Amino acid sequence: MTEELDAGLVGRQIAESGMLGEPAPDRHEVGAARRRKEDARLVTGRTHWTDNHQLPGMLHVAFLRSPMAHARIVSVDTSAARGLPGVVAAFSGHDLAAEQGGLPCAWPVTEDIVLPEHPPMAVDMVRYPGEAVACVVATDRYRAADALEAIEIDYEPLPAVLDMTAALREDSAKVHEAGNRAYTWKYAEGDIDAAFRDAPVLIERTYVQQRLIPSAMEPRAVVAQSEGDHFTLYSATQIPHILRIMLAQVTGIPEHRLRVVAPDVGGGFGSKLQVTAEEVLVLLLARRLGKPVKWTESRSEGNLTVHHGRDQLQRVALAADADGRLRGLRVDLLADMGAYLMLVTPGIPILGAFMYNGIYKMDAYDFTCTGVFTTKMPTDAYRGAGRPEATFAIERLMDELAAELSLDPIEVRRRNWITHEEFPYTTIAGLTYDSGNYEAATEKALALFGYDKLRAEQSDRRDRRDPVQLGIGVSTYTEMCGLAPSRVLGSLSYGAGGWEHASVRMLPTGKVEVITGVSPHGQGHETAWSQIVADALGVPFEDISVLHGDTAISHKGMDTYGSRSLAVGGIAVVRACDKVKEKARHIAAHLLEASADDIEFDGGTFRVRGTDSGRTIQEVALAAFAAHDLPEGVEASLDSDATFDPENFSYPHGTHLCAVEVDTETGATKIRSYVAVDDIGKVVNPLIVAGQVHGGLAQGIAQALYEEAVYDAEGNLLTTTMADYLLPSAADLPEFVTDRTETPATSNPLGVKGVGEAGTIASTPAVVNAIVDALRPYGVHDVPMPCTPERIWRAVQGATS
């Protein structure tokens, strides 16, 4: 066919050289378990991790961090450090005060929120341990680290503020002048007093969402470089686009002279959804010194100063009828902000506000959240961000209600959940769940789990008074993700929109470059986007490259978090493909001397309906590049831009069942079996989905059993190493049984929902419910998280003594 094309000399050379791509007509990529095309370079490390960047003349910065939780800085003397070999400069907060600006908070959730100044480097006060108080820039990182020990700082210690309840008392020491209450945010729907008045069943509980430390495999790293009045910042970040706007505001570097690059990034889980002190300071140092500057944190430094997650005190009350039907739910939260409000700190517990009702119908709901300042590392987004906390509370409460009424926990849920005929359903929290089928997911999970058989074994162990008891935990969760509709975010005082962007450009050889505004950090976007584009354009999977994470390449986008990439960014890719196809159809019609209305597109080829006459999309791309013979008004080259802004969130759901053996003599637990049936709508790549579910489960189980950031009475963080902050490895986790039901989302053309957070949201209550279920005969109705062996042992002791 190509000889018919008038694509000029270059076009003929391309065609004759065999470089021109060919369609892949019979391949169906969406839904295939493709191995990830990015993994070879990611797992070997032969790629551009931020710390791999070596720039000419590059300097290294090390930060001196406050050993105190709360203190006045009396003096900082960097003079001795500056005289050491290899040291180029040393600065205190005072030295940088005039130019360092303040770290941003983009989500002031109320009008009267207290928004304290947040200097990237402490100037007069330190308010959490690990806060940067000085820095050394040297020719290598070893000299920089050594020189930190020569800096003299005189502190005047102030009382640490650690406990949220105590922090709100009048006599508490203040973290900030304005007091320790950052904000109070309320939501109410229905007549809550009526729901609780004379309620036959009332369950009141207090749950502690312990503080967690996100532990991405790649530590944070930043490299900044100036070229004249232009700057480039490389950062292990989830949000290059947001970071650019924010850094422009903080530093005064105009946006068009600042390029932000997120090269390959090794995990984030929300911890790299941030504008960090170190990003600002490294950029300022590169500007001040005129040389590239690099910083890579150590794991211990990261445990102190990566923003933390969770840390809420949940006072919850559930009113129900005697048959278990829910009447109302009251939630009164204290949320630990830490010392400052970072990028979306105040909004995290508010994201949970819409999820406490879970999958259930009820008459009334009342939610209050008070954000509290303490002298700890600020909290912010961590996998699930507000939704795991909410899901934990409601799923724990549903198990408590079942126990109170001597009902099976599945049955009490069945009596309350939204049935599949009722969708779309507007919940008491004001969200409209577009689709779902809780019955189907639950039936499938029960069958895979062998629920009745495990219940029989449980009963047997109870009868035998086996010191190793068996517990079964249920979690029927939903979550809101695919962040998000820009209009909704606006109504919640969020500082930006939630749309997403994609470009698709066909190169002269028929290969495809996809530019995406989302910013992968391990999820496998390059593979999934290639699958979507392959099907949409009929080109081979291998002929597609996905470009991302560089504001000079991907000029707009809202980045990756909140399980939004596929449900928002993936749809932008679909739309961009649609535009390419539409343009190509017109060009093909022109080349085939037919009307565009008579052109059909199938398997990568445009054909005149009812004839054999056609052009492959690659041939059209080549013709569009040559532009020798384009229809009137059609621009050269075959490419497009599209954005997508969904009308609604998406709502994955599922049923997770967990069986745990509890050794009542030692308090040890062992997960016997774990079944996760998730409904995440349509699936692009089941292998990637399985990976997300497995990792999510591990992270949720880790909250239930292992992880906790612990500060001592003076406010020092005790869990600065992995010997003390326990992360489970594969050796500590069971085989997971994962399966899916498929109820397509109605809010996007692919019917996808998002899977990044589901496993984490669902699994924590499933595990704790199982432990409590095992111990109910001992009179135990709660074990605080993490459910350590000692805590379990004490719960048994306390209940039996």
Partner 1 sequence: MIPAPFDYVRPSSLEEAVSALADAGEDAKVLSGGQSLLPLLRLRLAYPSVLVDIGRLPELRGIRDEDGHVLIGAATTHDEVLRSPIVHAECPLVALATATVADPAVRHRGTFGGSLAHGDPAGDLPAVAVALDMEFVVHSPSGERVVAARDFFLDYLETALGPGEVLAAVRVPKLGEGWGFHYEKFHRTAQAWATVGVAAAVRVSGGAGGGPRRVEEARVALTNMGPTPVRATQVEAACAGVELNGSATGYAAATPNGAGPGAGLDTRNGCGPGGGHSALREASAAAAEGTSPPADLHGSPEYRRHLARVLTHRALLSATTPA
Q: How far is the CB of 667 from partner 1 (least distance, A)?
A: 8
CB of 21 to partner 1, least distance (A): 44
Find the shortest distance in angstroms from Cβ 727 to partner 1.
7
Minimum CB distance to partner 1, residue 660 (Å): 15
- Return the number of the residue (296 or 312) whose C-beta is nearest partner 1: 296
Shortest distance, position 60 Cβ to partner 1, whole Å: 10
The pair of three-digit structure tokens given for residue 28, joined into one six-digit string? 């169906």
Q: How far is the CB of 714 from partner 1 (least distance, A)?
A: 16
| CB 675, min distance to partner 1, A | 23
Interface residues toward partner 1, by CB under 8 A: 141-142, 145-146, 149, 298-301, 462-469, 664-666, 668, 706, 710, 718-719, 721, 723-724, 726-729, 731-732, 777-779, 788-790, 793-794, 796, 799-800
Please say which residue, 691 or 789, places its beta carbon nearer to partner 1: 789
DSSP 8-state class, residue 520: -
Helices and strands, counts by H and E, the chain: 22, 28
Judged by CB, which is closer to partner 1: 9, or 731?
731
**Residue whose CB is less far from partner 1, 398 or 701:** 701
What is the amino acid identity at position 203? I
Nearer to partner 1, 351 or 780 (CB): 780
Between residues 464 and 628, which has the closer beta carbon with respect to partner 1? 464
DSSP 1: -
Nearer to partner 1, 220 or 575 (CB): 220
Q: Taking Cα atoms as reference points, which of 754, 762, 189, 742 lies closest to residue 426?
A: 189
SS3 65: strand
**Burial class (CB within 10 angstroms; exposed 0-12, middle 13-18, buried 19+) of 326:** buried
Show the DSSP H helices in 83-191 as ranges.
Answer: 93-100, 141-148, 164-167
Give the contacts of 614 (CB within 8 A, at least 6 positions apart). 1, 588, 592, 605, 606, 607, 608
- The verdict on whether omega for the bond into residue 484 sits within 30 degrees of 0, i.e. cis, is yes
Q: Reduced to 3 DSSP states, what percent helix, strand and coil does the chain have, rounded to the nearest 5?
A: 35, 25, 40
The dihedral over CA atoms of 261, 267, 273, 276, expressed in degrees to the nearest 10, equals: -70
Question: Which residues, in sequence order, are CB contacts of 650 under 8 Å at separation 6+?
Answer: 434, 480, 481, 482, 563, 567, 681, 745, 747, 748, 752, 753, 754
Residue where the block lists tokens 């094309």:
5
Least distance between partner 1 and beta carbon 142 (Å): 5
The two beta strands, 59-65 and 87-92, are unpaired
Q: CB of residue 147 vs partner 1: minimum separation in angstroms?
A: 11
Give me the least distance between CB of 144 and partner 1, in Å please: 8
Q: State in angstroms the smallest separation of the CB of 322 from partner 1.
A: 26
Q: Tell me whether residue 298 or residue 611 sits nearer to partner 1 (CB atom).
A: 298
Pick the closer one to partner 1 by CB: 157 or 779: 779
d(CA 93, CA 383): 32
Residue written as token pair 């006045």:
72
Q: Are strands 605-608 and 614-616 parallel, antiparallel or unpaired?
A: antiparallel
Spatial separation of the C-alpha atoms in residues 340 and 738, rounded to whole Å: 40
Q: How far is CA 154 from the centre of its chain?
A: 39
Supply the minimum distance, in Å, between the C-beta of residue 662 and partner 1: 11
- CA-CA-CA-CA dihedral for 528, 529, 531, 536, to nearest 10: 150
Amino acid code (one letter) for 483: L
758-775 vs 387-404: helix axis angle to the nearest 10?
30
* Minimum CB distance to partner 1 smaller for 79 or for 800: 800
Which residue(s) pair with 740 in the sheet?
678
Closer residue to partner 1 in complex, CB, 31/45:
45
Closer to partner 1 by CB, 34 or 60: give it.
Answer: 60
Contact of 350 with 102, CB cutoff 8 Å: no
C-beta of 310: minimal distance to partner 1 in Å? 17
CB of 764 to partner 1, least distance (A): 17
Measured at the CA of 453, the angle between CA 448 and CA 456, to 5 degrees, comes to 150
To partner 1, the closest distance from the beta carbon of 85 in angstroms equals 11
Q: Order of strands across the sheet with 309-320?
A: 181-189, 364-373, 326-338, 309-320, 201-212
CA 218 to chain centre: 15
Task: Tell me how far, at minimum, the Cβ of 724 lies from partner 1, in Å.
Answer: 5
Residue 86 or 749: the one with the smaller Cβ distance to partner 1 is 86
Per the CB < 8 A criterion, the answer to whether 314 and 209 are in contact is yes
Distance in angstroms (rounded) separating the CA atoms of residues 762 and 390? 10
Residue 218 and residue 308 in contact, taking contact as beta carbons nearer than 8 Å: no
**Closest approach of partner 1 to the CB of residue 40, in Å:** 22
Nearer to partner 1, 125 or 138 (CB): 138
C-beta closer to partner 1: residue 332 or 732: 732
Other C-beta atoms closer than 10 Å to the C-beta of 38 total 18
Query: Is the Cα torsion angle 10, 15, 17, 20 positive or negative in sign?
Result: positive
Angle (deg, nearest 10), helices 758-775 and 686-705: 40
Return the amino acid letter for 407.
L
- Of 135 and 537, nearer to partner 1 (C-beta) is 135
Query: H-type helices in 51-160, by residue range?
Result: 79-82, 93-100, 141-148
The distance of closest approach from Cβ of residue 460 to partner 1 in the complex, given in angstroms and rounded to an integer, is 11
The total of other beta-carbon atoms located within 10 Å of residue 99's CB is: 13
Q: Which is nearer to partner 1, 197 or 670 (CB)?
A: 670
DSSP class of residue 681 equals B
Give the nearer residue to partner 1 in terms of CB position, either 677 or 783: 783
